[in-house]
Amino acid sequence: MSTLPNGGLTPRAPDETADLVVRNAMIHTGDPRRPRAEAVAVRDGVITAVGDDRDMAGRIGPATRVIDALGRRAVPGLNDAHLHVIRGGLNYVLELRWDGVRTLREGLALLAEQAARTPEGQWVRVVGGWSAEQFAERRLPTVAELNAAAPGTPVFVLHLYQSAILNGAALKAVGYGRDTPDPAGGQIVRGRDGTPTGMLLAAPSAVLLYSTLAKAPVLDAEHRAVSTRHFLRELNRFGLTSAIDAAGGFQNFPENYETVVELARAGELSLRIAYHLFPQTAGQEIDDLTRWTSMVRPEDGDEWLRLNGAGENLTWAAADFENFAQPRPDQAPGYETEFEKAVRLLMGHGWGFRLHATYDESIRRDLAVFEKLASEGLFPGGNRWLFDHAETVSADSLDRIAALGGAVSVQNRLSFQGEAFLRRYGPGAAADAPPLRAMLERNLTVAAGTDATRVSSYNPWVALHWLVTGRTVGDLALRPPHNRVDRETALAMFTTAGAALTGEQDRKGILRPGHFGDLTVLTEDYFTVPDAGIPHIEALVTVVGGRVVYAAGEYEGVDEPLPPVTPEWSPVRYFGGYRAAPAAARRGVHQAELLGQAAEEAGEHHRWRVRRGLAGETGTAGPVGDPCFS
């Protein structure tokens, strides 16, 4: 079965043919043995050949699907090493996405339109994936604007780990009034008479924000399955073929995992998921971990759905909250006792784990526990473990992580929170948040992800743009060139490094015979598109295990069918997910970036002239003036 003309390739006998051949592509394989190719063949979910078009001639049979990439760039399927994919899938069709929306005015218009179709008893919720800095207005919506857009429908708008904004109907729905106490670590902002205004603050814990969101209606089992399938298709839209689910708050095991388990059983996952387990109740963590280690083992499952360990919290007392608009929180004294019990339990049962750790102060305390256990031979012990986030990790801590056999997973949270981080910690700290080069220089496995969906967007190309340029979604340059990575390194952080975190480096992450048939054909050439174009890359075709799970453009319709989005009033049904910028706008962004680069270069040239006495501080000519400007 040919998707596009196969150029007259000679068929082979059926027992030797491929199920799928992608040809006429500029393939970046990620394989040092053969970095570039034109074509790849897949049979029974596994790559059987990588080479030139002529190498595929004998692999085309009557039933082979042939995709002509028309000279476009193809890369290994992307692997988000820190994505809350299970939780995101359960809620996807309920959420109005502001990901990629360029103006607050447009966001409020979408909200008003959605409120008009949302039935009584349901909410309009905007839950992460955006920042005020991405808007032309550079501000949050006001409570008054939410009330005007949706006077009778509850509206909940989450902004990063910092705040949530509720309209009057939402405040009534959740029951917050004058007598509602502020929870520990959170603040209900009040007016002069003590009445809640509609603004909730993480101070610094986001538990208030998430517990308020948890009061909203949820989907039944049938709709959860539809929602998850559409969320996975949305991830496939950006070339994602794998993700490591980082669990997180309000994600209970096993009940919140049942949807992906049922989809895996039915063969309906379009994304490979390695998941973690996160104790949800403070004081009960050791009991939960003990029960889980007796129920399941790491790597239980198959190549589509498998357990990868515990975390990203092991004990709640060890968590460090990362609202960069607030000072760094002090962790509880003496948390190490229970934390050590958790780590010892996991290491003894062969479990890996991941740890949410934003600040070096937290990382140093955790490392002290690991070094104590290392004296007993538990570290390095062959268990895969890592720190997540690590924005302010020190060089000394990185040395200790390397010595103990750990790894690091970084996310582009500062794409969305970079301005707040800069205001609190200054340009020096922001330049090294996180210290990517120092991590890589120590030969640590450094995987990349998004931490979507409640802060960053799930669009991996926004994260790749941040890795390469150091710029936020508001176009603020935070990380200088010495702490950026080249495009090939960034891509490896989204492919091979993620595979290493799940112990699958010999099965996925590169395009090589014997590896999974996971790849994507892109709308733009990632290696040559201007920097400003990287966030706007999407997939035209995404293949997972030889299955075409997403297709767009001239390939539209060759992917697997999905049931329609339900419920009928779902925001996704009308607006979709991530809002792609029109082509004309993308050209404007590129032009603006070129002008910005030119201005930066001109400024640097002037500073060079000042240092050498060739110009005055104000721009006037120095002793050796330029006759054009003196």
- On the question of pLDDT at 515 being above 90, the answer is yes
pLDDT, position 1: 44
pLDDT, position 319: 87
Residue 4's pLDDT band (cuts 50, 70, 90): very low
- On the question of pLDDT at 189 being above 50, the answer is yes
pTM, full prediction: 0.90
- On the question of pLDDT at 157 being above 90, the answer is yes
pLDDT, position 267: 97
pLDDT, position 609: 53
pLDDT, position 26: 98
Give the mean pLDDT of the chain: 91
Distances (CA, A) of 303 to 311, 317, 503: 21, 34, 11
Beta-sheet pairing, 547-551 with 539-544: antiparallel
pLDDT, position 628: 31
More confident residue, 541 or 296: 541
From 380, 176, 482, 16, select the one nearest 187 (Cα to Cα): 176
* Other residues' Cβ atoms within 10 Å of the Cβ of residue 240: 31
pLDDT, position 248: 84
Mean pLDDT within 121-133? 96
pLDDT, position 331: 86
Distances (CA, A) of 211 to 2, 98, 115, 174, 576: 51, 21, 22, 10, 26
Percentage above 70 pLDDT, the chain: 90
Please report, to the nearest 10 degrees, the dihedral formed by the alpha carbons of residues 100, 105, 110, 113 taken in order. 180
* Choice among 26-35, 312-321, 458-467, 553-562 with the minimum mean pLDDT: 312-321
- On the question of pLDDT at 586 being above 80, the answer is no
Percentage above 90 pLDDT, the chain: 83
Q: Match 């007993």 to its residue by tokens.
A: 376
pLDDT, position 611: 58
